[in-house]
Amino acid sequence: MSIITKAREMLGFSRGATLRKVYETRVRCRRCGEELTAQVNLLNDLSIDYERDVYTVRKLIVGSGANRCFQAIEVRLTFNKNRQLIERWIADGEFVDEPEAAE
């Protein structure tokens, strides 16, 4: 058994399990209707909330300006300890995609 395999087992990864490193969500600006994609790096962008035992991230998304609209869309996402989406919130926009189902 290699050192990497032992380390993965100690960290709780099963043999066939893989952790997706990026979570993507699509949003639409309420002002101009532009559709944008927000990406969250699940290994680096998340902050832990010790009181609720979850991970959170807050993103401000601004469009390309092609429509002369520079409205900031605020997105807050909450993930469980397995980094699966459990809550999402948006201001000044709307979600275009459906959240991915937890496995």
Residue 6 lies in a domain: no
The predicted-structure confidence for 50-77, as pLDDT tens digits, reads as follows: 999 999 999 999 987 777 888 999 999 9
Residue 83 lies in a domain: yes
pTM for the model: 0.74
Range of the domain at 54: 18-95
Residue 100 lies in a domain: no
What is d(CA 99, CA 97) in angstroms, rounded to the nearest whole number? 6
Residue 65 lies in a domain: yes
Residue 77 lies in a domain: yes
What is d(CA 9, CA 100) in angstroms, rounded to the nearest whole number? 26
CB–CB of 42/79 below 8 Å?
yes
Residue 79 lies in a domain: yes
Structural domain count, the chain: 1
The answer on pLDDT for 103 being more than 50 is no
